[in-house]
């Protein structure tokens, strides 16, 4: 009995080695298997229906489709007349259409040269064999793993890439990912945009709704990462290597710590986190993860933007924070909005973080990512008054008396907080800065 996949791979290589026409595919297919078998005609007809144009960048997909053609399956199951591969026509990988000006890289060897590493180094850093998943602590791990507590409870895994891997990831980020634009609703991890841009569209609205995503980076599926690089035009081999450089499978000993829930309410979330860490995921700590997460969430942003437009609402996203706002009509349809949002989030492979959804009406403080949006973007009143009091006490009692958290550079810390207030509310920021200028700092 013939093995379908080697035959399918030989046919895929032959099909891509010449003109993408019915006659050309049949001629090269006959050259590969010898003679002109009857099963070749329906196979060619089916492939042309799937691919009107030659899929030079999708060799693996073409092979899989060929292997599932009923005519080829039946022919390979015929033990009386087994299919034999008589010739193999090699084909050079090519990039498909490039929607953006990304570097042209057609092979893993070209990728390694572009990154400035050897083929062996690229293979190890991309971890195609999954060595990291079973590795023990030591110099052969590509990442360093640190569990840090969340302010709202639970814990977060920080996966810090080694120097060599981080260098390659930064090059991929600056030369490839930064060239690909995210959806217009994405306001986090986008050059020139920030928290104010995320919150400002929701100022002065009758109702503001905030929804959080659970484990945003870890929830991005490998297929979504591959889809980003394939959409950029890269062939399968390069896509696999780039995705390997930007994703990780956490070692089992580290994943075990994710399963230790501190309360019964955290059991489900810990179980989901452990599953995501065990599979390929975007590591929180890699420079490429924020940009890839934004691009992987493109379909999510498209669908939620369309939903918002249908309901007369506005939608923006800052990383894992989703914000919707609207007038009184939306305020009466919030339940419908949340039902549809939850369904879309689930369809796209993400999960709503339980207990973090907020529906904020005009009569209460409406806050997004620490910014109050009731009338205009500003810091919460209590935060402003607290900073104002600290600056006053620094002026009257000396700055050392107020550095209770032992900041190594308390002056820079205060300047950063003042700059944030100035960014959102210039008038309040100016008053704070005037007080700051009167603080008697010790000479350096």
383-438 residue pLDDT tens: 999 999 999 999 999 999 999 889 999 999 999 999 999 999 899 999 999 999 99
Tokens, residue 71: 């005519």
pLDDT at 1: 39
* Residue 2: pLDDT over 80: no
List, in sequence order, the alpha helices (H) in 95-205: 108-115, 119-126, 131-134, 163-175, 195-199
CB 154 within 8 A of CB 144: no
Report the mean per-residue pLDDT for the chain.
Answer: 91
The answer to whether residue 359 scores a pLDDT higher than 80 is yes
**What is the pTM (predicted TM-score) of this model?**
0.83
pLDDT in tens, 197-223: 999 999 999 999 999 999 999 999 999
Per residue in 75-93, pLDDT tens? 888 767 788 899 998 888 8
Predicted confidence band at 3 (pLDDT cuts at 50, 70, 90)? confident
Q: Is 253's pLDDT higher than 80?
A: yes
For residue 226, give the H/E element and its range.
helix 222-231
Given this model, what pLDDT does residue 444 score? 59
| Between 187 and 267, the higher pLDDT residue | 187
Cα–Cα dist 268/2, whole Å = 46
Query: Nearest 5 degrees, angle CA 88-CA 91-CA 94?
Result: 160
pLDDT band at 346 (very low <50, low <70, confident <90, very high): very high
Task: Say which residue the tokens 């308390």 belong to.
Answer: 410
């Amino acid at each position: 009995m013939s093995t379908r996949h080697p035959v399918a791979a030989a046919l895929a290589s032959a099909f891509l080695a010449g003109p993408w026409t019915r006659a050309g595919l049949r001629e090269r297919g006959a050259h590969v298997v010898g003679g002109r078998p009857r099963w070749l005609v329906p196979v060619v007809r089916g492939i042309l229906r799937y691919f009107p144009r030659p899929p030079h960048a999708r060799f693996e997909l073409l092979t899989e489709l060929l292997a599932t053609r009923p005519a080829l399956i039946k022919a390979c199951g015929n033990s009386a007349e087994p299919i034999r591969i008589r010739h193999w026509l090699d084909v050079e990988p090519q990039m498909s259409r490039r929607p953006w000006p990304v570097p042209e890289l057609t092979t893993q060897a070209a990728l390694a040269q572009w990154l400035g590493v050897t083929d062996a180094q690229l293979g190890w850093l991309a971890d195609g064999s999954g060595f990291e998943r079973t590795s023990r602590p030591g110099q052969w791990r590509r990442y360093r793993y640190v569990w840090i507590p969340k302010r709202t409870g639970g814990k977060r895994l920080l996966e810090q890439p080694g120097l060599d891997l981080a260098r390659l990831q930064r090059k991929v980020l600056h030369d490839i990912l930064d060239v690909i634009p995210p959806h217009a609703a994405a306001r986090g991890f986008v050059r020139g945009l920030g928290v104010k841009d995320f919150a400002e569209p929701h100022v002065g609205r009758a109702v503001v709704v905030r929804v959080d995503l659970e484990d945003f980076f870890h929830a991005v599926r490998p297929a979504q990462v591959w889809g980003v690089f394939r959409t950029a035009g890269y062939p399968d081999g390069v896509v696999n290597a780039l995705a390997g450089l930007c994703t990780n499978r956490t070692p089992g000993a580290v994943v075990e710590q994710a399963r230790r829930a501190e309360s019964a309410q955290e059991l489900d979330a810990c179980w989901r986190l452990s599953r995501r860490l065990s599979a390929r995921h975007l590591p929180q700590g890699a420079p490429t993860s924020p940009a890839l997460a934004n691009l992987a969430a493109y379909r999510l942003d498209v669908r939620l933007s369309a939903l918002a437009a249908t309901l007369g609402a506005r939608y923006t996203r800052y990383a894992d924070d989703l914000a919707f706002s609207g007038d009184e009509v939306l305020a009466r349809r919030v339940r419908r909005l949340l039902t549809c949002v939850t369904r879309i989030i689930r369809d796209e492979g993400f999960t709503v973080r339980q207990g973090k959804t907020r529906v904020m009406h005009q009569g209460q403080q409406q806050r997004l990512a620490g910014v109050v949006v009731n009338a205009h973007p500003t810091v919460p009143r209590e935060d402003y008054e607290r900073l104002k009091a600290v600056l006053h006490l620094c002026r009257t009692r000396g700055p050392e008396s107020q550095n209770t958290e032992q900041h190594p550079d308390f002056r820079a810390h205060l300047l950063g907080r003042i700059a944030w207030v100035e960014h959102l509310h210039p008038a309040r920021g100016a008053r704070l800065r005037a007080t700051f200028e009167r603080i008697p700092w010790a000479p350096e």
